[in-house]
Amino acid sequence: MSETDTPMVENLEHELRAEGVRITRQRVAILSALANSSDHPSAEEVLERSRKQDSSVSLATVYRTLSILEGRGTILRNEFDGTGARFELANKPHHDHLIDVDTGDVIEFTSPRIEELQAEIARELGYDIVHHRLELYGKVRHQD
């Protein structure tokens, strides 16, 4: 546990340790990278950011750690059009994404009404939703 660990990272470390996951230098670096990001970094970007704290982190370890974290529900894996997977901590309330097709910017939004309708549709079809993906791809509205 590095002395530069934020309380959020320490919390994650405790949770993981409680489940028998070993806390290694590289895992702390990866957790910090995720905790300090407010965007949706790719595996490569998580690698770069992690290396600022521990230059020994490898891409394979980033992928292995991201898999563990995803399996535990600690992070979410997004597969937007085109690029590889993008990640984010799962500690905020559920939301969906609007991707600016020109800039790649990702905007988060929530719609309780859409969530309800989804559940209703699934119910009518005889299903329970396990998870869902709602992505809007758009361009800034123009009047030019």
Partner DNA sequence: AATGCACTTGCGAATTATTTGCAACAAGGT
Partner DNA sequence: ACCTTGTTGCAAATAATTCGCAAGTGCATT
Q: Which residue shows structure tokens 């309780």?
A: 112
d(CA 53, CA 14): 19
d(CA 97, CA 94): 10
Binding characters for DNA, 54-73, by CB under 7 A (x = yes): --xxxxxx-xxx-x------
Residue 57 tokens, joined: 């982190």
Binding characters for Zn ion, 61-100, by CB under 5 A (x = yes): -----------------------------------x----
Q: How many residues does the chain have?
A: 144
d(CA 105, CA 98): 8
73 binds a second copy (CB under 8 A): no
Q: Which residue type is seen at 67?
A: S
The correct pick among 84, 103, 131, 144 for binding a second copy (CB under 8 A) is 131
Contact positions with DNA (CB under 7 A) in 88-107? none
- What contacts 107, CB < 8 A, 6 or more positions away? 97, 98, 99, 100
108 binds, among DNA, Mn ion, Zn ion, none (CB under 5 to 8 A by kind): Mn ion
By CB under 8 A, name the binding residues for a second copy: 79, 81, 98, 100-101, 107, 109, 111, 113-114, 117-118, 121-123, 125-142
By CB under 5 A, name the binding residues for Zn ion: 96, 134
